[in-house]
Structure 1
Amino acid sequence: MIGLIWWIYYDSFHVMERLKAMKHGFTLIYSHFFLAMGFVILANVIRHAILNDLSQNDFRILAIVGMCFFYVGKQTIYFKFLPPFRKPIVINTLICVFITVGSTFLPKIEYALIGITIGMLYYTIGNFKFTLTKDVSRFLD
């Protein structure tokens, strides 16, 4: 899961660095608030899954909120500044959140973590297949 989080963040970072429309970086700063909150919540989800000291319902809420914050923080910049990315980003994110929600209803928390990881894996594959294939050269420096 940690490797996928790293990959999801950096897989299109080179595009974000070269955006023409992003002059001041405020969107980058404020979107990273949600990204950081998602990281913190997901770290706690993993910790509590290892310690097994959280009820299934509490785990479910934390996992869903953490993943939503993570994806919102990750996608805000691309959604705002790259119109060709908008539709694939929304579809990809909704599928991943749906997989996360579905996996939190599995009988054990460990299985739910595996399901969340599968959702992240799908996100990575979907991002390569549907999003990064779009030509965005006119939006870049």
Structure 2
Amino acid sequence: MSAEHLISDEETRHIAEGFLGVSPWLGDVEWVNDIVIGPNAEYLAGFDGKFPANAKLREDQKWSWRVSFSDPAGTKRTLSHEAVLKGLSDIVYGDHEGAEGFRYMRITEIELVVSSCRSDGQAGFGEAAVDEVAAVLDVP
């Protein structure tokens, strides 16, 4: 994903928090700030894909969140800023075939979710929007 997007790290975290908040069947939720985002952030990761705690970040890079959780079958899943951005992008711009595509092209729902994230900490997530994000991110 490009670093030049309009949805901030905090806003994607609010979306993930809203998703987890309306999904009581998900367990073992663990939040960490161990991912670097920004231009060329991937070059800071080690060969194992992890970012060292002492990584020297440039001015346009920052630490970001990651949340791991278990689905009802016990499978570990992970969401991050980049995963939520990709999910939103797929909903809005994705190449969906047939009648299914019309469901995903409701851009106004996404605008409402993002708008609610920007308001004074009020989640206000619509259940349909959360379901669509979950479907795109392939999480229960």
TM-score scaled to structure 1, two decimals?
A: 0.29
Between Structure 1 and Structure 2, which shows a larger proportion of helix residues? 1
Between Structure 1 and Structure 2, which shows a larger proportion of strand residues? 2
TM-score scaled to structure 2, two decimals?
A: 0.29
Greater length-normalized contact order (CA 8 Å, ≥ 6 residues apart)? 1
